[in-house]
Chain A
Amino acid sequence: MTGSGVVVFVMRRFAVAVPLLLIISFGVFALVHIAPGDPVRSLLGARASDPATLAAIREHYHLDDPFLIQYFKWLSKVVQGDLGVSILGNRAVTSTIADRLGVTIFLSLMSAVLVLGLGVVLGAVGAFRRGTRLDRAVVMFGVFGISSPAFVTGIFLLYFFGALLHWFPIFGPGTGFLNRAWHLTLPALALAISVMAIVIKITRAAMIEELDRDYVTFARARGLSSRRITFAYVLRNALIPVVTAAGLIVVGIVSGAIYVEVTFSLPGLGALTIDAVQKRDIPTIQGTTLLFSVFVVLVNLATDVIYMLIDPRIRFGRVES
């Protein structure tokens, strides 16, 4: 496929994503006004409500302007990377988020690797050993995972591997790569188990279907090695539906991270959001919500692009005939 074909495709997807992001940003902005009570009070938080501060807030958030003008002024600041000031710490929301981002990214990536890696392997094992006890165990594990929320699994893991066996720390995010990985193993696992069921299920179903395909039988009839058949034929074709669902999976991980961070008292974005909600820190809520939304939209965009790159039928179909 020509490079320009990919560019056109990505541009077309962007054209859909931009209005979507605008709608989301509008919703996020409207939060201030939807929240019960006077927006000035909401934005005031715990500060003393002397007239000077109130006037400063009205001035800062352009609360005297018409609603749409307020929105555009806010949006232009957001685009420049200014999400306002957190009510509590009186710090820029962006720098609070920057502090917390590291843990969340580490946690999400770690569990994404677990979900995709372990999920695909387990799904494949189930498919290859279809109908055996091993297969049933894998399916059971998936059902168990999807039906127990991440914080429940998290508490169980904490108690068992942390408090009882002392294999893993029960608190804190750790410092440095290895130490952090060690600290985040249990949270990542708790998070992964709840999302993995989808990957196991999709992989297993897709592989079972692939194993029955004519081209797999034909590959066997030609005496290709089982490794070649497993990877180049069965797995590669079966991964297409997994990639299609990857957007959903990543979003599931990131939203699950919110609970897990609270369960394991990790100073990540999720914990920050929950904290901000409890304290009605509107600018921070706006900041994290916006960040999550942009992330979700971008992940879906990326999934589409990857899907197009790995499935030649789509890639060539679009450009040629």
Chain B
Amino acid sequence: MNTHVASTGHENPLLRVEGLAISHGAVPITTPLSIAVERGETIAIVGESGSGKSLTARAIAGILPPGINATGTVTLDGISLMGLSETELRKIRGFRVSMLMQDPFTMLNPLMRGGDHIDEMLRGRPEFASRAPRAAEVKRRLAEVGIVEDDVARRMPFQLSGGMCQRVALAAALARDPELLIADEPSTALDVTTQAEIIRLLRRIQRERHMSLILITHNLRLAFSTCERIYVLYAGSLLEVGDAAAVERQPYHPYTLGLLLSEPPADIRVPRLVAIRGSVPQAADVVGRCGFADRCDWAKQICRAGKPPLVARDIGRLTACVRQDEIQCELDALRTAALCAAPATPRRDETEGALVRIDALVKTFDGPRGHPICAVKHVSLRIMPGESVGLVGESGSGKTTLGRCLVGLETPTAGDIRIDGIAAADFGAMAKADRARVRRTIQMIFQDPYSTLNPRHSVGQALSEALRASAGAASASTPERIAALLADVGLSAAYATRRPASLSGGERQRVAIARALAVKPAILVCDEPVSALDVSVQAQVLNLFKRLQAEHGLSYLFITHDLAVVRQIAERIYVLYLGEIVEEGPTERVIDDPQHPYTRRLVESIPRSANQHAP
């Protein structure tokens, strides 16, 4: 077992985790890991989904789900936590270690008022024995997390927004003033601008209280901008540990580099993202070898001979790559090459001959008790043939409604839609031939491809169904055509026999794209097509979108909340806020020089660290 701990030199860290191995029965979930956290220090555990971040956090707090067990040692300030009984742990949890769970919407008791979650934490203390001082304290605690509205304490969780829930939960987690807070993806489920607020809040509180913080995230850039030290977790093993600034400057492990390059930069457009091929394996499938070997361009025999140990390569820098010495200069070169900006995207000024033309579109829904909800207010938008247009906005801004109106899934309340010259505002009122033509011209890709693929149909069946719908050709769905479609999205012909359940998220999204391409559409409406995917897979799919655009002259309406994604793919963007377009223009102009306050807020919420692009 490897016992290297990347500590900053202090002999006595607040938390020392050594050889922590988590397993589900006989199935390993993590290999022995070591983590150290100093007093007042912020560390990040970074990894893609399923890498074991949440379970590591729960193992530290001693609340693993039933059936999962952990071995190793967890020492907090000299006390070994692993052997403690539940009763003894209860005196440590809350008071010394506290934890925020991954999903703010499910973290609070649905039958308890927001403030009561804090109130119940204070009850044991003599100075808060009576109600009035406790209420005052709850108010003070809520103020600390930025809630000054009086009635939030009295509201039920379902009446609070995600950001509010997260703040209330944070106040509850901090109510007994712990020395260490473990925050499991505290911002992932929230809107972009709220994400930035929550992270700022966490950092402020961490600094003010001089508290230690373990931030768990899948976002490397967020980790760099927030934390002092980074632990990169992959398929249950730590691959790289080190000082945040140093790792960002020069990653030692090919996976860290891959992750860094996979994350689309928000401030430049790169010709092609450097994607990592394949997808994240399960820890149990990579026992006894480098977990990254199947996806690594530098993999050699030696990498599969045994699990490379995490060893120190520099002061406070550890990597689990056995070939780091040999390949470091190649890694560095790759990094430098990837950062060269793409040529400026061609500017189109003409608006004649637009493929899609939306004028003054309004969509209202019937709200509760007869109050209409205006989801889209007076939106006008153009998409030229072969152009890729981004539609950016937060949840609730009306972007999905707009997309659904475009493909005929909703009928607009007012306004005009023309697709390829055909009036397509009301699909029901269109001539049959026109409707068929519009359906072939425009296709939609959803965030969750699983819900749109029939689980009982094989990939081949789904594609042949789509092919039959195209152009009415009877002989359309030959195995060759299916194979060609699959090849188009980078899958082998063997995938035709697979069922959706056996595909990874990225593969499913590829199949959904292949199905949309079957009718040879002119434009794809993509609603958050990559936001459910792991960062490394997201880069692959974004590259696929780019390639398809170049090869087939496709147009896109790319609906997303992620400015970095839109920067990579769109030539022009529209910013939607509360159902209205508040800003539009060429992507570079809008992101580099936002005019509307809301756009500015969006741009500011992108995590950045000081040395963003130092090679």
Contacts and interface: CB of A to CB of B under 8 A. Distances in A.
Interface string B98-110: 1111110011111
B109 A217 contact: no
A208 B261 CA distance: 43
B98 A221 contact: yes
Interface stretch (B84-92, B296-304, B403-411): B84-92
Given A312-B156, A320-B159, A321-B368, A222 B94 contact: yes
B93 A218 contact: no
Contacts of A236: 109, 111
B506 to A, nearest CB: 27
Contact of A313 (B108, B110, B176): B110
Interface of A is mostly: helix
A220 B61 CA distance: 9
Most-contacted residue by chain A among B66, B103, B111, B158 (CB, 10 A): B111
Nearest to A320: B159
Interface string A302-321: 00000000111100110011
Given A215-B106, A232-B120, A316-B156, A222 B93 contact: yes
B158 A220 contact: no
Contacts of B65: 212
Contacts of B95: 223
B163 to A, nearest CB: 17
B523 interface: no
Given A225-B90, A232-B112, A316 B99 contact: no
B341 interface: no
Nearest to A225: B90
Given A217-B101, A221-B61, A312 B93 contact: no
A207 B106 CA distance: 16
Contact of A220 (B93, B106, B121): B93
A222 B118 CA distance: 10
Interface string A230-243: 00110011000000
B120 A224 contact: yes
Contacts of A316: 156, 158-159
Nearest to A312: B156
Contacts of A73: none
A50 interface: no
Contacts, number: 86
Interface in A9-37: none
A218 B121 CA distance: 12
Contacts of B29: none
A64 interface: no
Given A214-B103, A236-B111, A313-B110, A222 B98 contact: yes
Interface in A274-321: 310-313, 316-317, 320-321
Interface in A188-235: 212-215, 217-226, 228, 232-233
Given A212-B65, A214-B107, A223 B101 contact: no
Contacts of B58: 217
Interface string B59-76: 001010110000000000
Max chain A Cβ within 10 angstroms of own Cβ: one of B92, B109, B368: B109
Interface in B123-161: 156, 158-159
A226 B368 CA distance: 40
Contact of B169 (A218, A224, A237, A317): A218
Given A218-B169, A237-B109, A316-B158, 20 more contacts: A212-B65, A215-B107, A215-B109, A221-B98, A221-B99, A222-B93, A222-B172, A222-B176, A223-B90, A223-B91, A224-B90, A225-B90, A232-B109, A311-B111, A312-B110, A312-B111, A312-B156, A317-B158, A320-B159, A321-B367
Interface of A: 130, 212-215, 217-226, 228, 232-233, 236-237, 310-313, 316-317, 320-321
Nearest 4 pairs between A and B by C-beta?
A223-B94, A223-B93, A221-B99, A214-B106
